[in-house]
Amino acid sequence: MRKGVKHLPDPIKHPILRRSFRLPKEISEELSISVVQTPQEMESALRVLHDAYVDFGYMNPHPSGLRVLPQHAMLTTTMIVVKIADEVIGTVSMILDNPLGLPMDSIFDLSPYRQNGMRLMEVSSLAVAKKYRFVRGKIFLPVCKFALEYAQRFSVADYMVIAVNPKVADFYRAIVLFDKLPTGAVKNYDFVKGAPAVGQIISIADLKKTWANVYDGVSSKRNFLEFMNEDLDQLKFPIRQYRHGLENVLSQGLFRDLFIEKTKVLEQLPMEKKVRLARYYSGSQFEADILQACGNLLPFNARSEFRYETLCSARVGVDDSKASVLSVSRGGLHLRFLPGKGPVVEGERKLQIEVAPNKIAQTVGETVWLQPGQAGLKIIDHDATWSEYLEHLDEYVGNSPKRRPKAADGTT
């Protein structure tokens, strides 16, 4: 960026940057971008991430040759892998709100965006192998497109947040149209070994409307909205049968390899976060491995059932109040209502829940807790479609019926 432009006010600077922005004329047919499919791909991606962060001075070398975050232990963290032919050459992680928090929580105040059950997804840990960094937009822009499109199509979050180096902050503001977080820039961000960072946020539901307001009528060679609407064969999106927020290849073997044998990132967590993690995985296939990876734990109240993050549209009660189902378990679910809507008294509620496109499950729930705009319901009756949905979720993360606890406390 020219020095004279860099110091201009944003309302003047950003249109100038958009006029100088150019999309790549072509993208290599050998390029492939997808969600991580295998444990081998995940480990290769963590190796690329490690090497890139060491190169840029964002971390010290680790004996394992991997950069593993505590959030990589969450089934709701999506790792994206970039390949040329069969070689993993890049990665980025999409981290949904979880019991460990987001990396950005360590220095940015994100609480205003979580009110009334709203959820965040942090796009983090972007890295490209050294020999491919020179091609710039020919890899980075397709990765950016994949992450944004994935968020729109599959994410169960409401907002996307990023922490970026000040040198590239204007790209995300001017081109992708992120807003700056009120916290603004920080000079010393431990996540990247004290490098500076700028926090930014954008509404996932409003992405296309936000882009249309700026890019309508703009030339195709610099029209980010047209680029986002373009179908690229190089982008391989998952095929989902049902709605949920899970996209992870973690197996028990990979978990032990990453979090017990090769790194101690979970053991190094504060006790409060260890307990949250152990409680979250109560009743899952990872329960024993979590306890081993975390080391000594204070006593805690274990959940009787595993909870799945989702984002399903729902209609509740005789007045058909619109709501969203944020999470489900065998015994209950967590609802978020539109502002000013929702149950005002305890009792039973009939629910129609869209668990897949054009697939409605019928359930009956009894209110067990209320908060402004939110409710926790115990499921007391349901149809076969709801059972099929839960069986699918169990299968997806390997929670077999043999491992599943019989008790249901009705809370989520």
In a domain, 315, yes or no: yes
- Paired with 333 in beta bridges are 328, 377
Place of tokens 């009756």: 381
pLDDT of residue 137: 82
In Å, what is the CA distance from 192 to each residue of 1, 71, 174, 234?
23, 15, 24, 30
SS3 263: coil
pLDDT of residue 344: 52
In a domain, 139, yes or no: yes
Between 287-294 and 271-280, two packed helices, what is the crossing angle to 10 degrees? 170
In a domain, 17, yes or no: no
Same domain, 87 and 195: yes
Closest CA to 237 of 399, 37, 9: 37
pLDDT of residue 1: 54
**Residue 151 belongs to what domain range?**
22-236
The structure tokens listed for 51 are 């090497």
In a domain, 242, yes or no: no
- Paired with 235 in beta bridges are 33
Residue 47's Cβ-side half-sphere holds a number of Cα atoms within 13 Å equal to 11
Evaluate whether 13 touches 6 at the Cβ level (below 8 Å): yes
Report the distance separating Cα 373 and Cα 371, nearest Å: 6
pLDDT of residue 207: 96
Report the distance separating Cα 166 and Cα 198, nearest Å: 6
The structure tokens listed for 381 are 């009756």
Report the distance separating Cα 184 and Cα 104, nearest Å: 12
Report the distance separating Cα 162 and Cα 297, nearest Å: 32
pLDDT of residue 411: 34
Report the distance separating Cα 91 and Cα 93, nearest Å: 7
Q: The whole model's pTM is what? A: 0.92
CATH number at residue 393: 2.40.10.220
Report the distance separating Cα 125 and Cα 93, nearest Å: 6
Closest CA to 145 of 197, 69, 223: 223
Same domain, 115 and 196: yes
Closest CA to 350 of 307, 393, 311, 319: 319
Evaluate whether 211 touches 223 at the Cβ level (below 8 Å): no
Place of tokens 């099929």: 388
Same domain, 232 and 377: no
- Listed as ranges, residues in the chain with pLDDT below 50 are 401-412
State which of 236, 259, 274 marks the end of a domain: 236
State which of 177, 202, 236 marks the end of a domain: 236
Surface-to-core class of residue 134, CB atoms within 10 Å of its CB (0-12 exposed, 13-18 middle, 19+ buried): exposed
In a domain, 385, yes or no: yes
In a domain, 389, yes or no: yes
Overall domain count for the chain: 2
Same domain, 182 and 48: yes
Report the distance separating Cα 242 and Cα 212, nearest Å: 29
In a domain, 33, yes or no: yes
Would you give the DSSP letter of residue 403? T
pLDDT of residue 409: 34
pLDDT of residue 202: 98
In a domain, 248, yes or no: no
pLDDT of residue 371: 86
State which of 189, 204, 236 marks the end of a domain: 236
